[in-house]
C-alpha cells in the first residue's frame, strides 16, 4: 500500500501494538487474541508492495466483523471493548484507503500527492477525524477505568491501542 521507509516503520510499530496485548494480557479471552492477531496480519499486509488494493477493503470488512465477534464475549469487557474500538477504527481506515491510483484523462492532469477514497469516494479529512476519534475514545476508555481496576490487561490494551494509532497515522495523512 505504501512504499516509504518511515511509513513502513510506523506500520511495524502498529503491528507490534497489535501483538502486545496477546503476549502480556494473560486474562484475555480467545476472541480478543484472535482479533489482535488479525490486526497484526493486517498491519503487515499493508507493508507488502504490489498487493491488490481490494485486499485492504476485504481486510477492513473482516476487522469490522471481528469487532462484532469480540463484543459477543461478556466475560472480559475491560479488554474486549478497547479491542472492538481498535478493530472498528482500523477497519474504517482501511475502507477509506485508496483502492487504485487516480485515473488521468487527456484533458485533466493527474492530481499529485496522497489521496484517500475507498471505492472512488472522496473522503477529504475523514481519515484524520477517524484517527483523532480513535485516540480520544481509547484515552477515555483507559481514563474511565478506576485506578484500582487498571490491571495489566487494561494498561496493555491502552498501550497496544496507542501503538496501533501511531501505526495507522500514515493512513490518515
> Rounded to whole angstroms, how far apart are CA atoms 117 and 151?
39
Mean pLDDT of 154-170: 87
48 DSSP 8-state letter: S
41-45, 69-73, 92-96: segment of lowest average pLDDT? 69-73
- What CA–CA distances, in Å, run from 37 to 2, 22, 79, 93? 21, 8, 15, 18
> Rounded to whole angstroms, how far apart are CA atoms 18 and 66?
14
Report the 10 Å Cβ neighbour count for 2: 16
Q: Which residue has the higher pLDDT, 139 or 148?
A: 139
% pLDDT > 90, the chain: 25
Q: Is the pLDDT reported for residue 78 higher than 80?
A: no
Q: pLDDT-based confidence at 76, cuts 50/70/90? A: low
Q: Is the pLDDT reported for residue 25 higher than 90?
A: no
Q: pLDDT-based confidence at 170, cuts 50/70/90? A: confident
> Rounded to whole angstroms, how far apart are CA atoms 130 and 8?
21
Mean pLDDT of 5-24: 84
Query: What value, to the nearest 5°, has the Cα angle with vertex 16 and ends 62 and 37?
Result: 30
- What are the residue boundaries of the structural domains of the chain, listed by start? 5-100+116-172
Amino acid at each position: 500500500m505504501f512504499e516509504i521507509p518511515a511509513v513502513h516503520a510506523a506500520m511495524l510499530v502498529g503491528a507490534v501494538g497489535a501483538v502486545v496485548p496477546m503476549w502480556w494480557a494473560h486474562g484475555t479471552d480467545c476472541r480478543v487474541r484472535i482479533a489482535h492477531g488479525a490486526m497484526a496480519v493486517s498491519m503487515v499486509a499493508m507493508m507488502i508492495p504490489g498487493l491488490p488494493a481490494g485486499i485492504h477493503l476485504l481486510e477492513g470488512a473482516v476487522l469490522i466483523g471481528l469487532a462484532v465477534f469480540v463484543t459477543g464475549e461478556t466475560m472480559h469487557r475491560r479488554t474486549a471493548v478497547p479491542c472492538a474500538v481498535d478493530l472498528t477504527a482500523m477497519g474504517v481506515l482501511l475502507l477509506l484507503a485508496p483502492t487504485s491510483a487516480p485515473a488521468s484523462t487527456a484533458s485533466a492532469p493527474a492530481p499529485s500527492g496522497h489521496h484517500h477514497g475507498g471505492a472512488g469516494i472522496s473522503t477529504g479529512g475523514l481519515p484524520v477525524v477517524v484517527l483523532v476519534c480513535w485516540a480520544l475514545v481509547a484515552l477515555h476508555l483507559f481514563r474511565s477505568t478506576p485506578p484500582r481496576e487498571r490491571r495489566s490487561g487494561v494498561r496493555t490494551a491502552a498501550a497496544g491501542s496507542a501503538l496501533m494509532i501511531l501505526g495507522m497515522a500514515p493512513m490518515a495523512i
